Amino acid sequence: MTNKKYVYLFTEGNAKMRNLLGGKGANLAEMTNLGIPVPQGFTVSTEACIKYHDDGKSISKDIILQINDALTELEKITGKSFGISDNPLLLSVRSGARVSMPGMMDTILNLGLNDITVEKIAKLTNNIRFAYDSYRRFIQMFSDVVMGIEKRKFEDLIDRVKEEKGVKIDTELDENDLRKLVIQFKELYIKEIGNPFPEDPRQQLIEAVSAVFRSWNNPRAIVYRRLNDIPGEWGTGVNVQSMVFGNMGNTSGTGVAFTRNPATGENKIFGEYLINAQGEDVVAGIRTPQPITKLKEDSPKCYDEFINIAHKLENHYKDIQDMEFTIEQGKLYFLQTRNGKRTAQAALKIAVDMVNEGSITKEEAILKVEPRQLETLLHPAFDLDEIKRAAAIAKGLPASPGAACGKIYFTAEEAKKHHEKGEKVILVRLETSPEDIEGMIAAEGILTVRGGMTSHAAVVARGMGTCCVAGCGKISINEEKKLLKADGKSYNEGDYVSLDGSTGNVYGEAIKTTVPTISGNFEIFMKWADQIKKLQVRTNADTPSEAKEAIKFGAKGIGLCRTEHMFFEADRIPAVREMIVASTAEQRKKALDKLLPMQKKDFIGIYEAMEGNPVTIRFLDPPLHEFLPSEEEDIRALAKEMGISFEELKTTIASLHEFNPMMGHRGCRLTVSYPEIAEMQTTAIIEAAIEVNKKKGFNIVPEIMIPLVAEIKELKFVKDIVVKTANQVIEKSEEKLKYSVGTMIEIPRAALTADEIAKEAEFFSFGTNDLTQMTFGFSRDDAGKFLNDYYENKIYEFDPFEKLDQVGVGKLVKMAVELGRKTRPDIHLGICGEHGGDPSSVEFCHATGLDYVSCSPFRVPLARLASAQAQVKNPR
């Protein structure tokens, strides 16, 4: 029997094996195949990670044996040996999932060092300082990543030694300082852990590999996965690679670079590097790095080689590359390449440029922009007049574009807390680290004092599309006193600051922000998306201004116009209340007569705004208690208006109380009790359409949608009222008008009997908010309180109200589609829940064969792109 293979040498893999080897591992193998200088090594597969967790967090003997075999191969390739020897092999241990999860899982460098090998390395390189610098870094990283000892505790020890010596930067520490630090680090280790630091390299390796596997399930990784739709079952790979050293003196260095500018998309190499440095030094913001162009002066040979390889990689992957490299004593090595994260602006420019350069097709270009990212382009920019008058108090690096205005907070916790209270917040940090992730998500903008364009803050902010100004050395902050100082002025926690992520400007005041339009590359790109997509995109809009906005963003109609929102306005609510509490049909009729002209006016406005595109109008739906007066003053006024006593009205209101209004007297049930409501709404819808068609020369075919249907007879009852009323109105007008009547599918029983329902319904619109609520049996308004416990216990991985539950709710949708089409082959099908604006749900709707999705105006471009991507990936 042959054992399953869990460990692959870089020479055994390739880019197509991403699922098995993780992105980093697959690309290291691919670069090896391309003949690019990569320090050799091997990848422990993602399947090994899953097995590790299945086996109760332990690495099986079999996997350990395979790792040992790979080590033997690596020793042969490198001519070094792992463990005690005159030429010790040192390793890096690096995580790498299928998609990159920046900063989520940490790398361990220089593994294999111990009190003996450190001396060997010192002798071999004739550089004691280097050997001990590497050793102290290893102890630090191992302690942090594997044992969970806080990084800060080590940094404090370093700071103390620097202070004693009166020096400022790490490179000013000499070999004796570093020897001293190694001893102190080990003492700290014993104090924290209770055991001495492990000296056996093989033990170090296995513990490091296990730690990477464990980190797949750390809370930060789980939050990131939920945010980015990454399933927990993917697991992470672990890359074990021979070390190269960027910290061997002034002909060594390390850096990161992009083949194009990730902020603007400009077709020009963009990067940073540091001389005599290792690993995360560049991104940690400890020292300020040099631009990559400086390498041309420092080492023209390395620079040329670097540029050549960079171009080769971009041509090979047909996408902007984000590369990590290290130079060891004048010799260049590539440590990583991946498709670069970029801002939405850059993504669009790169996609359009690459099509124009002839290197990719429009279909390929469509796949190069993340739908979610487009939202950032629709986010605010500064009001031009206000920004002209404002004076910047400081300028940092323009790390992630956009405009942000909010109150400043100095810790992730505070930022998160105040965001939850509804404040707009700006997170201000010296530099950010992965622990800050939730505060960064909560923030409108992020401001850091230290760090470059590739610092943690910059990378993560760009990924999230959040405005960020990084490396703003002109400000100083005091976290304890919650104070920011800039330009001679002080700003306290809670004071307003505005950030311009495109220029790096920081303003010490609130500046109004405005919404941008779709133009330039964005417009060109969206045209391509529209040419490709099959699933149409409509919008959910209740007012003419929302409808206009959505048209601007490319909506091809309204999929859901909720009529109740129109009723909440101050001048209408009295009439609505009158209608609800009416005890006779006559009273109700009187109230409805007041509402009719108002509703008709609303619909005229919406039809006109939609410029002849289709409009689906849903009948009154919500639980009535939302409209009932609760203040005594309001009740008195209403009683007077209706000519009844205060007591009588109070009793009526009390009798309308429901224990579970979400499942109460709402939707079509209202019309079953009070047909007058449907009569009024139908009249308004039809009269408005006739008027607008006549005035504007449109050919509007109103789509009347009946909500909350569970039973065919119920639908027929309401539809009969609609048809009778509509036909009367049309006849009276002596004009011609077509209209259609359909239903929402939002109660499981409707989905289960969709073949019946389709006998009456000319269209279905899946109301996946209620359908999710009713299928799971928990309310959208209450689920927030306990869903977190479900994520933590890995029962659910995402919020089913945001991302459609394809397994359960999706099954009902598919079933209803099939049943509906069986009865009525040309039945028109759409979805109008929040899911219409979620990319993976859009993909599902495409695959299920719906005709359109409908989402909020701001998500329309996102849905158009997601729809085009679905067609490219899975043509229908």
Catalytic residues: 456, 832
Task: Enumerate residues 6+ apart whose C-beta is below 8 A from 54.
Answer: none
Please tell me the total number of residues recorded for the chain in this structure: 876
Using DSSP bridges, classify how beta strands 253-258 and 236-242 pair: parallel, antiparallel or unpaired.
unpaired
The Cα–Cα gap between 282 and 187 comes to 28
Q: Hey, which residues between 85 and 114 contact ligand ADP (CB under 6 A)?
A: 92, 94, 103, 107, 109
Task: Enumerate residues 6+ apart whose C-beta is below 8 A from 858.
Answer: 375, 378, 549, 553
498 binds, among ligand ADP, Mg ion, none (CB under 5 to 8 A by kind): none
Question: What DSSP letter does each residue of 78-124 carry, written as one string?
Answer: HT-BSSSSSSB--EEEEEEESS--TTTS--EEEET--TTHHHHHHHH
Does 241 contact ligand ADP by CB under 6 A? Answer: yes
Does 336 contact Mg ion by CB under 5 A? Answer: yes
Shortest Cβ distance from residue 865 to ligand ADP (Å)? 28
Residue with Cβ nearer ligand ADP (24 or 719): 24
Shortest Cβ distance from residue 671 to Mg ion (Å)? 59
Which of 467, 485, 468, 489 shows the shortest CA–CA distance to 476? 485
326 binds, among ligand ADP, Mg ion, none (CB under 5 to 8 A by kind): ligand ADP
Shortest Cβ distance from residue 415 to Mg ion (Å)? 22
Does 335 contact ligand ADP by CB under 6 A? Answer: yes
279 binds, among Mg ion, ligand ADP, none (CB under 5 to 8 A by kind): ligand ADP
Does 813 contact ligand ADP by CB under 6 A? Answer: no
CB atoms within 10 A of CB 793: 8
DSSP state of 340: P
Shortest Cβ distance from residue 278 to ligand ADP (Å)? 6
Shortest Cβ distance from residue 765 to ligand ADP (Å)? 44
- Of 240-248, 351-359, 496-504, 803-811, the window that binds ligand ADP (rule: CB under 6 A) is 240-248
* Whether the Cβ atoms of residue 854 and residue 538 lie closer than 8 Å to each other: yes
Shortest Cβ distance from residue 170 to Mg ion (Å)? 18
Shortest Cβ distance from residue 456 to ligand ADP (Å)? 9
Please select the residue that binds ligand ADP; options are 157, 230, 244, 580, rule is CB under 6 A: 244
Q: C-alpha angle with apex 13: 11 to 15, nearest 5 degrees?
A: 125
x/- letters, 267..306, toward Mg ion (CB under 5 A):
----------------------------------------
454 binds, among Mg ion, ligand ADP, none (CB under 5 to 8 A by kind): none
The Cα–Cα gap between 549 and 537 comes to 14
- Alpha helices by DSSP H, listed for 452-584, are 456-464, 520-532, 544-552, 573-581
Token pair for residue 133?
Answer: 């610098």
Q: Hey, which residues between 306 and 335 contact Mg ion (CB under 5 A)?
A: 324
Residue with Cβ nearer ligand ADP (94 or 225): 94
The Cα–Cα gap between 729 and 717 comes to 19
User: What is the distance of C-alpha 54 from the center of its chain?
Assistant: 29
Shortest Cβ distance from residue 502 to ligand ADP (Å)? 26
712 binds, among Mg ion, ligand ADP, none (CB under 5 to 8 A by kind): none
* Whether the Cβ atoms of residue 461 and residue 432 lie closer than 8 Å to each other: no
Residue with Cβ nearer ligand ADP (324 or 542): 324
Burial (CB count within 10 angstroms: exposed 0-12, middle 13-18, buried 19+), residue 738 = exposed
94 binds, among Mg ion, ligand ADP, none (CB under 5 to 8 A by kind): ligand ADP
x/- letters, 425..464, toward ligand ADP (CB under 6 A):
----------------------------------------
Residue with Cβ nearer Mg ion (459 or 604): 459
244 binds, among Mg ion, ligand ADP, none (CB under 5 to 8 A by kind): ligand ADP
Which of 90, 208, 216, 220 shows the shortest CA–CA distance to 147? 208
CA distances from 594 to 72, 377, 524, 637 (A): 87, 42, 47, 17
Does 772 contact Mg ion by CB under 5 A? Answer: no
Burial (CB count within 10 angstroms: exposed 0-12, middle 13-18, buried 19+), residue 549 = buried
Please select the residue that binds ligand ADP; options are 158, 178, 211, 243, rule is CB under 6 A: 243
Residue with Cβ nearer ligand ADP (241 or 613): 241
Residue with Cβ nearer ligand ADP (253 or 401): 253
345 binds, among Mg ion, ligand ADP, none (CB under 5 to 8 A by kind): none
Using DSSP bridges, classify how beta strands 270-275 and 253-258 pair: parallel, antiparallel or unpaired.
antiparallel
The Cα–Cα gap between 822 and 727 comes to 28
Q: C-alpha angle with apex 831: 737 to 229, nearest 5 degrees?
A: 160
Shortest Cβ distance from residue 114 to ligand ADP (Å)? 18
Does 254 contact ligand ADP by CB under 6 A? Answer: yes
776-791 burial, b at 16+ Cβ within 10 Å, e below that, comes to bebebeebeeebeeeb
Shortest Cβ distance from residue 743 to ligand ADP (Å)? 50
- Of 123-131, 143-151, 336-344, 505-513, the window that binds Mg ion (rule: CB under 5 A) is 336-344
> Residue 499: beta bridge partners?
404, 506
Shortest Cβ distance from residue 254 to ligand ADP (Å)? 5
Question: What DSSP letter does each residue of 453-488 carry, written as one string?
Answer: TTSHHHHHHHHHT-EEEE--TTEEEETTTTEEEETT
Q: Hey, which residues between 279 and 318 contact ligand ADP (CB under 6 A)?
A: 279-280
Burial (CB count within 10 angstroms: exposed 0-12, middle 13-18, buried 19+), residue 429 = buried
Radius of gyration of the chain (CA): 32
400 binds, among ligand ADP, Mg ion, none (CB under 5 to 8 A by kind): none
Task: Enumerate residues 6+ apart whose C-beta is below 8 A from 249.
Answer: 127, 130, 276, 329
* Whether the Cβ atoms of residue 718 and residue 618 lie closer than 8 Å to each other: no
455 binds, among ligand ADP, Mg ion, none (CB under 5 to 8 A by kind): none
92 binds, among Mg ion, ligand ADP, none (CB under 5 to 8 A by kind): ligand ADP
Please select the residue that binds ligand ADP; options are 314, 324, 500, 549, rule is CB under 6 A: 324
Phi-psi region of 239 (alpha: psi -120 to 50; beta: other; left: phi over 0): beta
Coil, helix or strand for 674?
coil
Residue with Cβ nearer ligand ADP (257 or 535): 257
The Cα–Cα gap between 691 and 285 comes to 65
Q: In angstroms, how far is the first alpha carbon of the chain from the final one? A: 44
Does 241 contact Mg ion by CB under 5 A? Answer: no
197 φ/ψ angles, rounded to the nearest 5 degrees: -60, 135
Residue 700 half-sphere exposure, CB side, CA atoms within 13 Å?
33
The Cα–Cα gap between 467 and 399 comes to 8
Shortest Cβ distance from residue 28 to Mg ion (Å)? 11
Residue with Cβ nearer Mg ion (453 or 744): 453
Residue with Cβ nearer ligand ADP (37 or 612): 37
Residue with Cβ nearer ligand ADP (322 or 799): 322
Shortest Cβ distance from residue 311 to ligand ADP (Å)? 21
x/- letters, 193..232, toward ligand ADP (CB under 6 A):
----------------------------------------
* Whether the Cβ atoms of residue 472 and residue 413 lie closer than 8 Å to each other: no
x/- letters, 33..72, toward ligand ADP (CB under 6 A):
------x---------------------------------
Number of residues in contact with ligand ADP under rule CB under 6 A? 16
335 binds, among ligand ADP, Mg ion, none (CB under 5 to 8 A by kind): ligand ADP
Q: Give contact residues for Mg ion (rule: CB under 5 A).
A: 324, 336
Q: Give contact residues for ligand ADP (rule: CB under 6 A).
A: 39, 92, 94, 103, 107, 109, 241, 243-244, 254, 279-280, 324, 326, 335-336
